[in-house]
Amino acid sequence: MAVIERVVVTVFTTVTHSYVDEHGHRHPGPPREVTEALLTITDADGASGHCLTKPDTVREAVVSGYLGPALLGEEGFDRERLWHRMARRQRGSQGAFSDRALSAADQALWDLAGRRLGLPVWRLLGGARAEVPAYASTMCGDDIPGGLATPEDYANFAKELVARGYRAIKLHTWMPPLPHGVDRDIAACTAVREAVGPDIELMLDSYHWYSRSEALTLGRALDELGFAWFEEPMEEASVQSYRWLAEQLRTPIIGPETAWGKHMARAEWVVAGACDILRVGVVGSGGITPALKAVHLAESFGMDCEIHGNGSGALAVIGATLSGRWYERGLLHPHSDYDTPPPHLRSIVDPLVDGKVRMPTAPGLGDDIDHDYIAARTVATWESRLR
């Protein structure tokens, strides 16, 4: 065991084949250069843990003002204690130290622990399963020819996804700035059900700000179509709206995904009866440490907890627990190649084999980071060190 000596964010350029629209939804696009960030925590023995994140999430002021002061000189193996040490600094940061930054540091600490022990994190955390079925999670609807512009586009893509081996598909339908609406959503869900038949599980993640009555109309259509869950059709801050909806639908309601409050917010949703399936994300809810608590909470109530989002952090929690059926593989699109890694990774962490994803076997989180690529394309380094 050894104390933490350095917290470093390396900002580098890489290439992406997607763009994010003005409302934050990702779509396929021509290749373009973007900046990404690698957070690295190094201890006095020279062991390091890493987490890939966004430069805006772990800005220089976050490193010098929060991560460095909370972590430097502390025993790097003490993930639970350090998570609380960091989380207690969020309140006074006036929003500057976000749950996403906390998550990046927490994931890097788990990566460090796994690498030191020579164990994959999912195994270190519990070792519940070595593989998990993946559902295909589509990008949001668009207006791209041959993309996800019409119900027929969704139906055609769904057939292609089944041919690739997926046994479950989640539609993200149209969101602003594009025209959106319950009728369009129902048309897409109906077209996909007709295309894949009754044996493929289907889920819907729709526009997130429907009214109660719009969400009920949409949910009743999903009842008829036999959907496996209905995700985030309303503002998640209104727990009572979700309780109201869940009481009236046969289709299970899943949530919350984006609601603020880490594992504590999940406890409120369970007690309120606002969801039938719990949901938590490693990146959005403060890290592996709180996500694991949410999954254990769900298990205690006899509920499934599905993990939001893809990547090594999600796999760590899914492999460590049994209270959830799926891995969210995506976001996928007819014009997007999910299986080719970006240039800063040597391989993807989640290849699909027979509709399933196997847990990584490398020590730590299992990301296959190309450190030479990152070193050659570094544009900034933000560092806090012990001495």
Q: Given the rule CB under 6 A, which residues bind ligand LLH? A: 25, 137, 140, 172, 175, 205, 257, 308-309, 328
- 382 is written with which tokens? 């933000």
Phi then psi for residue 123, to 5 deg, are -80, -40
**Binding partner of residue 140 among ligand LLH, Mg ion, none, CB under 5 to 8 Å per kind?**
ligand LLH
Residues in the chain: 387
Dist CA 125 CA 58 (whole Å) = 26
> Given CA atoms 9, 12, 15, 17 in this order, what sign does their dihedral have?
positive
Strand partners, 158: none
- The residue among 40 and 98 lying less far from ligand LLH, judged by its C-beta, is 98
Do the bridges between strand 229-231 and strand 253-255 make them parallel or antiparallel, or are there none, so unpaired? parallel
Is residue 111 at the binding interface for Mg ion, with CB under 5 A as the rule? no
- The residue among 205 and 367 lying less far from Mg ion, judged by its C-beta, is 205
- The residue among 137 and 321 lying less far from ligand LLH, judged by its C-beta, is 137
Strand partners, 49: 41
- 264 is written with which tokens? 């504590």
- State which residue has the least CB distance to ligand LLH: 25
Q: Would you give the DSSP letter of residue 96?
A: S
- The residue among 12 and 269 lying less far from ligand LLH, judged by its C-beta, is 269
- Only segment of 95-103, 150-158, 178-186, 231-239 that touches Mg ion (CB under 5 A): 231-239
Dist CA 297 CA 295 (whole Å) = 5
**Binding partner of residue 99 among ligand LLH, Mg ion, none, CB under 5 to 8 Å per kind?**
none
Q: Which of 153, 205, 304, 350 binds Mg ion (CB under 5 A)?
A: 205
- Binding positions for Mg ion, 239-278, rule CB under 5 A: 257
In contact, 132 and 356? CB cutoff 8 Å? yes
- Only segment of 144-152, 199-207, 269-277, 340-348 that touches Mg ion (CB under 5 A): 199-207
- The residue among 105 and 182 lying less far from Mg ion, judged by its C-beta, is 182
Strand partners, 381: 10
Under rule CB under 5 A, how many of the chain's residues touch Mg ion? 3
The 3-state DSSP class for residue 255 equals: strand
Dist CA 284 CA 103 (whole Å) = 7
- The residue among 5 and 236 lying less far from ligand LLH, judged by its C-beta, is 236
- Only segment of 97-105, 114-122, 227-235, 293-301 that touches Mg ion (CB under 5 A): 227-235
| Least distance CB 170 / Mg ion (angstroms) | 8
* Footprint on this chain of Mg ion (rule: CB under 5 A): 205, 231, 257
